């Protein structure tokens, strides 16, 4: 069973966005993430930002990249919920961490935070709605 076949078997809230909508949102967010995270990592690598500022960005990147592997690769809703909670938590952490150094980076994270907040609620609901089945 492909990941989309599996995903389509899951019970989901009525307001779940279509896969094409989700793809469009990420097409908008990924360039913002690449630009802003790249700026942070460059400034960390050149000694202009402390590791305490770069750490939540690194953890966010790792957990963000892990999500599709966990959710669609392992087909594990519980681990996907834990992962997306980590993505959300690191976003909430990195915004105030970068604020004193580059407010524009913090502000550009707000659309990402908004989407991840929606996606977190969605993933938690999907996990709850599928808790008794093999896909939970």
> What's the pLDDT score for residue 1?
84
What residues make up the domain containing 104? Answer: 50-136
Is pLDDT at 122 greater than 90 in this prediction? yes
Angle at 31 between CA 4 and CA 83, to 5 degrees: 50
* Within a domain: 36: no
* Within a domain: 43: no
Average pLDDT of span 120-128: 98
* Within a domain: 44: no
> What's the pLDDT score for residue 132?
82
Between these two residues, 1 and 123, which has the higher pLDDT value?
A: 123
Angle between helix 110-129 and 19-45 (nearest 10):
130
Q: Are 108 and 36 in contact (CB under 8 A)?
A: yes
* Within a domain: 25: no
Place of tokens 């991840």: 116
Element (H, E) at 61: helix 51-68
Give the integer Cα–Cα distance in Å for 79 and 74: 9
* Total domains in the fold of the chain: 1
* Within a domain: 10: no
Give the integer Cα–Cα distance in Å for 30 and 22: 12
Average pLDDT of span 49-71: 97
* Within a domain: 69: yes
Over the chain, what is the mean pLDDT? Answer: 96
Least Cα distance to 94 among 62, 66, 65 occurs for: 62
Between these two residues, 133 and 109, which has the higher pLDDT value?
A: 109
Average pLDDT of span 13-23: 96
Per-residue pLDDT band for 91 (boundaries 50, 70, 90) equals: very high
Average pLDDT of span 62-73: 96
Burial status of residue 85 (CB atoms within 10 A of its CB: 0-12, 13-18, 19 or more): middle
Q: What is the dihedral of CA 16, 20, 24, 27, to 10 degrees?
A: 110
Residues above pLDDT 90, as percent of the chain:
94
* Within a domain: 13: no
């Amino acid at each position: 069973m492909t990941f989309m076949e599996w995903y389509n078997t899951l019970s989901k809230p009525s307001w779940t966005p279509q896969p094409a909508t989700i793809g469009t949102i990420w097409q908008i967010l990924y360039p913002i993430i690449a630009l802003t995270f790249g700026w942070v990592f460059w400034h960390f690598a050149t000694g202009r930002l402390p590791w305490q500022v770069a750490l939540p960005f690194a953890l966010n990147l790792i957990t963000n990249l892990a999500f599709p592997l966990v959710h669609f690769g392992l087909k594990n809703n519980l681990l996907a919920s834990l992962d997306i909670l980590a993505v959300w938590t690191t976003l909430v952490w990195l915004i105030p961490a970068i604020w004193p150094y580059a407010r524009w980076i913090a502000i550009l994270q707000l659309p990402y935070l908004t989407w991840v907040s929606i996606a977190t609620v969605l993933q938690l609901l999907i996990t709850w709605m599928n808790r008794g089945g093999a896909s939970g």
